Amino acid sequence: RKEVEQDPGPFNVPEGATVAFNCTYSNSASQSFFWYRQDCRKEPKLLMSVYSSGNEDGRFTAQLNRASQYISLLIRDSKLSDSATYLCVVNKGAAGNKLTFGGGTRVLVKP
Amino acid sequence: GAVVSQHPSRVICKSGTSVKIECRSLDFQATTMFWYRQFPKKSLMLMATSNEGSKATYEQGVEKDKFLINHASLTLSTLTVTSAHPEDSSFYICSATDDLSNEKLFFGSGTQLSVL
């Protein structure tokens, strides 16, 4: 089983619609969770951290479910500019605190 | 905000040559730098972790003699792909942190390596 697993997509989303997707992680000791956004052949950029109580940043809402070991990202009122690959990132919690990246979920927002 | 400069952004080389990629932290001292590679439509895969002044720690399956990492100063780390082959063609990205928790990562813009 991969340490961090994501549905690769693509999720084809009409402009203005809502899209949500999950990411599962295997290490129950994981401490920190993040969503990054990556555009084609560009560096990943931090979208938001994921807090235990869930958190929202504008049109983006992140949730953490420790019992089932997954995090989710919901995008409301999708914009064309939201088209990107969304990377789930988990801090393994081990010494050195290396981050592990999921394979990414590709989202395509269409007019 | 913190900036990490990586160059070259793109390099095309002949098989058998060596290629050096630089990663610089511009406005902070990077105690730790990470090197990743990414194949098309695949996730970022951590290759190695380098700490200033010490030998890099390589992930399982990454050949340390092929991917030479030097982190001689707090602002510069280099990755040298030695005797490059077509299968080494990939997108290489560095990231740096000045935070002991290693959670605040700042990424370089990546280097697309094409080996002919």
Which tens digits make up the pLDDT trace of A18-50?
A: 999 999 999 888 888 999 999 988 889 999 999
- B101/A contact by beta carbon, under 8 A: yes
pLDDT at A97 over 60: no
- Give the side-chain half-sphere CA count within 13 A for A42: 12
Mean of pLDDT values over B86-98:
92
Q: What percent of chain B has pLDDT over 70?
A: 94
Question: What pLDDT, on the 0 to 100 scale, is given for residue A94?
Answer: 55
Confidence of residue B99 (pLDDT cuts 50, 70, 90): low
Question: Which distant-in-sequence residues (6+ apart) come within 8 Å of A18 by Cβ?
Answer: A74, A75, A76, A77, A78
* A86 min Cα distance to partner chain B (Å): 10
Residues 42-81 of B with CB under 8 A from A: 42-46, 49, 57
pLDDT at A96 over 70: no
Mean of pLDDT values over B102-110:
81
- A94/B contact by beta carbon, under 8 A: no
In total, the C-beta contacts within 8 angstroms joining chain A to chain B are 45
pLDDT at B2 over 60: yes
Best of A31, A37, A43, A90 to substitute, by most chain B Cβ atoms within 10 angstroms, is A43
- A79/B contact by beta carbon, under 8 A: no
Q: Which residue of B has its CA nearest to A94?
A: B101
* B101 min Cα distance to partner chain A (Å): 6
Single-letter amino acid, residue B99: D
DSSP labels, B9-52: SEEEE-TT--EEEEEEESSS--SEEEEEEE-TTS--EEEEEEET
